Amino acid sequence: MWRRTYLILLVIRIYFALSPSYLHPDENFQGPEIFAEQVYSYPAHLTWEFTSSKPIRSIFPLWLSYGLPMTVLKWFWTETGSGSTPPYLIYYVLRGTMFGLSFVLEDWAIHELITSPRHRREAVVLVASSYVTWTYQTHTFSNSLETLLVAWSLVVIQRILENKVGFTSMRAQNSPCVVTTPFAFVSLALSGIIFSLVAIYADTRFYSSSPVSISDIFRKPIITPLNNLLYNSDKTNLASHGLHPHYQHFLINAPQLLGPVYVLLIASIFSRSSRSNFSLLNMRALSALTGTLILSVFPHQESRFLIPCVPLLLTCFRLPNARVFLVTWIAFNSIMGLLLGVYHQGGIIPAQLQIPTIISNLNPGLEKAPASQETANVFWWKTYSPPLWLLGDAANITIKTHDLMGIPGRDMLEKLGKTVPRCSDGSILRYPRFSGSKSNNDRRVVNPTLLVAPNSATFLDQYVRSENKDESQDDRLSLQLDPLWRYDCHLHLDDMDFGDDGILPTLKRVVGRRGLNVWLVTRACG
């Protein structure tokens, strides 16, 4: 029965691994964006973590997880395909890589950490049924890699302790020829030193503008973990990212990740019963709880920072016999899985992949032009920052991406107006209504301006051209929006304003009008 359940959960994991939800900009800008530029020369935006005089991101583990698959894929595509590797293929290969790492290494670590066969089966199924495993672990987060690192560090420690116990037992059985040696600890320390030196060399070489020799890692090394610790120890630095109360991890983030298991965890901590659902006196639970406590010292606290603690705590949990828990656990993970795995900013990746095609449809024959000086301005409003590398190699036109974040609507219109040609320029300013399909467009749009925004942004309704609106009403507006493309599975949760709009109207607007739209921005000239 448990094998059948595990296979069903495996299919669910694959589905969410290939769903293009977007949980946080860091999943692209702290990994794939960097190596897409390095390997493919695709457009990229390097964030401050990589451009600072004291960079805080180690390139070594990121290269193993993202750079190596990209390099192998590029070689394979060069041998079998033509042209540049499609960005969508790179994207799904990376997501598949993260799924594979989670499926193999995370589940394997659970098997190693738990000795009881019955408890092992429960733990594997429980971790596999968590939405954290479905979503966070299959996205390109460094926190997802930390989960594997923490789990396997505990596996190594457990093996050393088990070998020590076994060795002591052998010695107690009158074995005078056996001599105890700290060989395991020496080999572990030596491996750690070698790994650290390799990582320091890789970081020093990546971040240095001049060639680096082996001696440079001793004379002027770049130690990114140390820079990271020093940066996060300064509260003024963290203020720019948002400050949280020290109880954020324990009282808000942990319940969000664990759901009903968190309630039983708290009950077990304060319970003196021997039939508790949690076994807290073990290495896994102590590692998770002390890790959360240490992370709580820093005032910037996001839920994804606790991802490595989730499988550790779930492996310490014993399933209760009550059917209420099972129903609650399934409902919680189903809702959170759909919300974060499918709908959360779910249109950004498909839209960014589609942008070059949309622009090509607005410019028939552009893809056949040998060279072009045209520029397309694409404005993103009320969305997460779009990954630039997904635009790929758009050689025949320059695509400028403008991230407007959540600025006021009037300010957004002002920025749009600066890129749309004015009526006095003599350009073609009023176009027929476009459908986004090349076959339906008869006019060529020169230097187009596009706006990408959620359908829930009601401020834009008055500017959207439609068949049902009076043309005279359209003419009274300076800028107008022609719908080109739409993706339905998109929710912008940051747009919820329960205080001003109320709960039901806000949910009706954000959920009822879910979706992400791409509009062509035009100007009415009478």
Lowest model confidence (mean pLDDT) among 100-114, 171-185, 195-209, 296-310: 171-185
Mean pLDDT of 2-23: 95
Mean pLDDT of 8-21: 96
Mean pLDDT of 493-516: 84
Question: In residues, how long is the chain?
Answer: 526
Mean pLDDT of 46-52: 91
Identify the pLDDT of residue 431: 52
Identify the pLDDT of residue 169: 56
> Would the pLDDT of 81 be above 60?
yes
Which two structure tokens, joined as six digits, stand for 258?
A: 């664990």
Sorted by where each begins, the domain ranges of the chain are 2-343, 348-523
Measured between alpha carbons, how far is 325 from 340 in angstroms, rounded to an integer?
A: 22
* Cβ density class 308-325: b for 16+ within 10 Å, e for less: bbbbbbbbbbbbeeeeeb
Identify the pLDDT of residue 506: 86
DSSP assignment letter at 106: I
Phi, psi of 131 (to 5 degrees): -65, -25
Measured between alpha carbons, how far is 187 from 51 in angstroms, rounded to an integer?
A: 36
Identify the pLDDT of residue 173: 52
> Would the pLDDT of 373 be above 60?
yes
Measured between alpha carbons, how far is 213 from 53 in angstroms, rounded to an integer?
A: 20
Residue 370 — very low, low, confident or very high, per pLDDT cuts 50/70/90? very low
What is the identity of the amino acid at 8?
I
pLDDT in tens, 400-418: 999 999 899 999 999 999 9
Which two structure tokens, joined as six digits, stand for 378?
A: 């694409």
Percent of the chain with pLDDT strictly greater than 70: 87
Identify the pLDDT of residue 177: 44
Mean pLDDT across the chain = 86
Identify the pLDDT of residue 515: 95
* Residue of 219, 232, 254 whose CA lies nearest to 132: 254
> Would the pLDDT of 501 be above 60?
yes
Residue 399 — very low, low, confident or very high, per pLDDT cuts 50/70/90? very high
Mean pLDDT of 257-264: 94
